[in-house]
Amino acid sequence: MTIWVGVYASYFGHPNRLLSQAVIPQPVSGQWNSVSIPAVQVTQGRQYWVALLGLNGQIEFRDRYCYGADTGRHGQYGGAETSRQTNLTSLPTTWWTGSQRSRCVVSMFGSGGTTGNVSVTVSPTTASLQAGQQTQFTATVSGTTNTAVTWKASGGTVTSGGLYTAPSSAGTCTVTATSVADSSKSASAVVTVSQPVQISISVSPTTASLQTGGQQQFTATVSGTTNTAVTWKASGGTVTTGGQYTAPSSAGTYTVTATSVADSSKSASAVVTVSQPIQVSISVSPTTASLQTGGQQQFTATVSGTTNTAVTWKASGGTVTTGGQYTAPSSAGTYTVTATSVADSSKSASAVVTVSQPVQISISVSPSTASVQTGGQQQFTAYVSGTSNTAVTWSASGGTVTTSGLYAAPSAAGTYTVTAVSAADSTKSASATVSVSSPQAISVSISPTTVAIPQNGQQQFAVAVSGSSNTAVTWKVTQGTGTITQSGLFTAPQAVETDIVVATSQADSTKSASASITVVAPHSVALSWSPSSSTGISSYNVYRGTVGGGPYSLLTNGVSSTSYTDSNVQSGSTYYYVTTAVDSSGAESVYSNETQAVIPMP
């Protein structure tokens, strides 16, 4: 059973016009049932009626004094009565007054709103919107249990729940909430309406060229809104929320797009050209050079694997031109001259330059003394230091000397000098003293008589023949597989062995002298290191220097194992080695700990 509850205005002490109503859909018998009747404006001191419909289709009512219970007060308070309308399914809008009833079939009591010192507040009190935008206002009513309000706006629209929509024109509007309990009480909010600003977006850079797997940072600039957030996407490859783009593994042309979060119809793009990596290699010639301070050396770079063979030059000390012309600094030391490929800046090659202070030219003659018979010969050798020009001019106070220093004694015995003068500095000279005696028995001597040299090494032997003016000899190797020229220059074989060379006098073949040569294996340095603990390591680079702590020059790269043998070393030298680890992207680690290798003599 459904019960309708209504509030009626009073007309001459009887219900008249329906003001408000509510429904109790499933009333429970034997207990109080509550219902909330929508608020209605009432006037203090006036009489109102509460009616119920639901019992046999008739309206029945009981006021606080039912007819028959207190007849003395009935005329003052009205009393219970029915309507003449029957078989009703809803409350009528107008009451047909019926007879009063002494039987009270239904009881009720009310808890309607009461009005005291009513006040209204609106939150927020101000708002700034663009045309067509919305904001929610909330009204708070105090001083009454009836907290309902009515909303209105001077511009735009506002719903019964306080949801405001700004008009299409810019300006200042007010949104007002008025108390239903007391229409004289209201509160307002001020809304500033502005025209929407056109949003624009740009991406920087607008183009990029990358190799597969390469990266590029893009930046989006959004104007026309305080919400500068964007979403990124790429037609190929990947892009982070911060605009960091990574090229795909396939070459091609791709777009990277930024879309405004504030207005998804606004976007901007950059074009990325992705190419396959070029395998570039580079070398520098010569790889080593020795200069004095201020000296110069022309270096040449050879680039392969690309049509762009341009390089950039730099030097760790001194200067180098764009054409590779190097000028040594004023300080002695070991420096590197590096050429880097313009096509691939990760590819470079270096040369090592040893710079020394200028050395004063000095000259010496060997042997410094000699004894020959009249008409005999003696080979002299001049040693010039402090200059790359080692040429000399020869002269003799008695006898003759060739341009190569071969002296021929005169026919008269005596003491003579053989002099070598530097062609680079004529003030520098050295002399040897020659004692010339009458002929004596022929004898042959070799210098040095014993020597140790590495495989494929060379040794110049000198021979002295006395007792004859014919000092010519015949050279040959009587033991071993080495070779010797007729000028006495011995070349060791590619084997570890002991060779014997013999010089035989051409004036007397019974006279000879010999020397012993010990051929030793060439020196090398075997390096090994612990694997890098980093992940993704693909190879190692090996660097070598001649000074502890560097600088170092790249000895080899792309070493796939953790060991390497350096066979290009010089006897008596000291070398310093470091390694670096290279990951799959080509990134190189810092230098490892340094290790030292001292190469023995010979």
Give mean pLDDT in consecutive 10-residue pieces for the chain, a chain of 602 residues. 81 85 79 77 79 63 42 44 76 77 47 62 94 94 91 95 94 95 92 87 96 94 91 96 95 96 93 88 95 93 91 96 96 96 92 88 95 92 91 96 96 95 93 88 93 90 90 96 96 94 93 94 91 92 96 95 91 93 94 94 76
Q: Would you say residue 336 lies in a domain?
A: yes
Task: Tell whether 250 and 319 lie within a shared domain.
Answer: no
The number of domains in the chain is 7
Q: According to the model, what pLDDT value does residue 79 have?
A: 59
Task: Tell whether 168 and 227 lie within a shared domain.
Answer: no
Task: Tell whether 565 and 509 lie within a shared domain.
Answer: no
Q: Would you say residue 106 lies in a domain?
A: no
Task: Tell whether 211 and 187 lie within a shared domain.
Answer: no
Residue span of the structural domain in which 124 resides: 115-194
In the DSSP assignment, the letter for residue 94 is B
Q: Would you say residue 586 lies in a domain?
A: yes
Q: Would you say residue 109 lies in a domain?
A: no
Task: Tell whether 93 and 17 lie within a shared domain.
Answer: yes
160 to each of 152, 178, 207, 271, how far by Cα in Å? 9, 11, 54, 52
Q: What angle do CA 456, 461, 464 make, to 5 degrees?
A: 165
Q: Would you say residue 465 lies in a domain?
A: yes
Q: Would you say residue 107 lies in a domain?
A: no
Task: Tell whether 260 and 343 lie within a shared domain.
Answer: no
Task: Tell whether 266 and 307 lie within a shared domain.
Answer: no
Of 160, 194, 228, the residue at which a domain comes to its end is 194
Task: Tell whether 7 and 96 lie within a shared domain.
Answer: yes
Task: Tell whether 328 and 352 lie within a shared domain.
Answer: yes
Q: According to the model, what pLDDT value does residue 42 have?
A: 80
Interatomic CA distance for residues 85 and 98, integer angstroms: 8
Largest CA distance in the chain: 185
The CATH code of the domain that includes 471 is: 2.60.40.1080
Q: Cβ contacts of residue 56 below 8 Å, gap of 6+?
A: none
Strand 406-408 relative to strand 377-379, pairing = antiparallel
Task: Tell whether 185 and 245 lie within a shared domain.
Answer: no
In 510-601, the DSSP E strands lie at 512-520, 525-528, 537-545, 553-559, 563-566, 574-583, 595-598
Of 138, 163, 194, the residue at which a domain comes to its end is 194
Task: Tell whether 285 and 311 lie within a shared domain.
Answer: yes
Sign of CA dihedral 443, 447, 450, 456: negative
Using DSSP, state whether 74 is helix, strand or coil: helix
Q: Would you say residue 513 lies in a domain?
A: yes
Interatomic CA distance for residues 204 and 68, integer angstroms: 93
Task: Tell whether 249 and 314 lie within a shared domain.
Answer: no
For the chain, the residue count is 602
Of 490, 520, 550, the residue at which a domain comes to its end is 520
Q: Would you say residue 244 lies in a domain?
A: yes
In 134-243, the DSSP E strands lie at 134-136, 138-144, 149-153, 157-158, 163-165, 171-179, 186-194, 200-204, 207-211, 215-217, 219-223, 230-234, 238-239
Q: Cβ contacts of residue 243 below 8 Å, gap of 6+?
A: 217, 218, 219, 220, 232, 256, 258
The CATH code of the domain that includes 138 is: 2.60.40.10
